[in-house]
Amino acid sequence: MNLAVGLNHFLLLGALLFVCGAVCMATKRNAIGILMGVELVLNAATINFVAFAYYNPIFQVEGQIFALFVIVLAAAEAAIALAIVLNFYNNHMTVDVDTAEELKG
Amino acid sequence: MALTDVLFYLLAAMTAICALAVVVTQNIVRAAAWLLFTLAGVSGLFFLLGADFVGATQLLVYVGGTLVLVVFGVMLTAQSPFINMRISAAEWGIALSVGLLLYGVLAASLVISSPKEPSDAHVPREELADSTLLGQALLGQWQASPQGNMTGLPPGAQPHRRLSVSYLLPFEIVSVHLLVVLIGAAYLARAKRRQMTSGGTGVPPVGRSAGEQQLGVRA
């Protein structure tokens, strides 16, 4: 019951999720879409942590604990970001981030 | 090919395709649905890697909590379907090329920097950290990293063999942080009260936002 696929497979999958999240953050104009991109990036980091916990005995516990921390912090980040988005929607009646230009210099 | 490898490729393909679909789709509700399948695939990969507790937490917190928050955010900020929030084809081209370039750099650095011998060494399945071991590590009752070689020490110094690292303080910090953040989010996203319910003069007070005015008109 041991995996024959190596660490690189997981790291490549994590890199793919990271790139998807980065492109999602760059291309979406909906603020909630940007939030989804952030979730993808955080999941990529979590995959890397758990894969290192599996393949490297040094990180056997640390990898999973850091993954748990990342999950909890992602939940906190999603809550505060959605609150900000709702506040922005209350003020501007849209969630298009291109209209958030009041602080432009 | 063993069953676990077939499972890995199935879950990885599901995760990757759904993550690509999150990026490509223009409908935000569909993007939330694709994100749901992506997160479920990631939690399946955690189960495959023997991290049962992390996989269960991923399912509970992400799929059960965060995604519900996102879907409620989508519903609360529902817009008329005629608002054009698409980006132009040129921007798509730039984003695609930058993404491919970034992935190429990451993958090339992985392949180049990985050791030549096959890295099939991994923690035996019976020694993988289960929830008991995770709890003990959080409380510091477990000798963390028994096989860890400490680096950066001066040549004569002997590292402490019984190096016991407790994650209790980070755990407490994270829990208090989560509490503060949730209170702050509830304060930030609270429903605004109308200011002019008693007077009813129809003159909106200064400084009211557009959303409040529209809500006031609607009410």
Domains defined for chain A, CATH in brackets:
7-93 (1.10.287.3510)
What are B17-35's pLDDT values in tens digits? 999 999 998 888 889 999 9
| Distance set, CA A58 to CA B55, B121, B199 (Å) | 20, 12, 68
| Tens-level pLDDT at each residue, chain B (219 residues) | 688 889 999 999 999 999 999 999 888 888 999 999 999 999 999 999 989 999 999 999 988 888 888 888 888 887 666 566 778 888 899 999 999 999 999 999 988 887 655 555 666 766 677 788 888 778 776 554 544 555 555 565 554 444 566 788 899 999 999 999 999 998 988 877 555 444 444 444 444 444 444 444 444
Maximal CA-CA distance, chain A:
59
Q: Which of A3, A35, A83 sits opposite B185 (nearest CB)?
A: A83
B1-78 maps to CATH 1.20.120.1200: yes
What are the residues facing A30 on neighbouring strands?
Answer: A96
Cβ atoms of A19 and B99 within 8 Å: the answer is yes
Q: B98-110: b or e for each residue (b if 16 or more CB lie within 10 Å)?
A: ebeeebeebbeee
Question: What token pair was written down for B94?
Answer: 């730039």
How confident is the model at residue B135, as a pLDDT? 82
**Region A88-102: what's the mean pLDDT?**
82
pLDDT value at position B189? Answer: 82
- Mean per-residue pLDDT, A11-19: 95
Domain coordinates in residue numbering, chain B: 1-78, 165-189
Q: How many CA atoms lie within 13 A of B12 on its CB side?
A: 19
* Interface probe with B: pick from A32, A35, A41, most Cβ of B within 10 Å: A32
The residue type found at B96 is: L
pLDDT of A17 > 80? The answer is yes
Task: Pull the structure tokens for residue B116.
Answer: 């030549």
A-chain residues near B32 (CB < 8 A): 32, 36
What pLDDT does residue A70 have?
94
Task: Supply the ipTM of this predicted assembly.
Answer: 0.91
Q: Beta partners for A96? A: A30
Phi, psi of B128 (to 5 degrees): -65, 150
Q: Taking 80 as the threshold, does the pLDDT of residue A14 lie above it?
A: yes
- Whether B2 and A4 have beta carbons less than 8 Å apart is answered as yes
Take residue B214 and report the two structure tokens written for it: 């529209």
Q: Which residues of A43-62 are buried (b: 16+ CB within 10 A; e: fewer)?
A: bbbbbbbbbbbbbbbbbbbb
Nearest CA in chain A to B138: A65
Which pLDDT does position A19 carry in this prediction? 96
**Which chain B residues are closer than 8 Å to A1 by Cβ?**
4, 125
* C-alpha closest to that of B96 among A27, A29, A43, A41: A27
pLDDT score, position B213: 47
Please name the residues between 40 and 99 in chain A that touch chain B, using a CB distance below 8 Å: 40, 43, 46-47, 50-51, 53-62, 64-65, 67-69, 71-76, 78-80, 82-87, 89-96
A22-77 pLDDT, tens digit per residue, is: 999 999 888 899 999 999 999 999 999 999 988 887 788 888 999 999 999 999 99
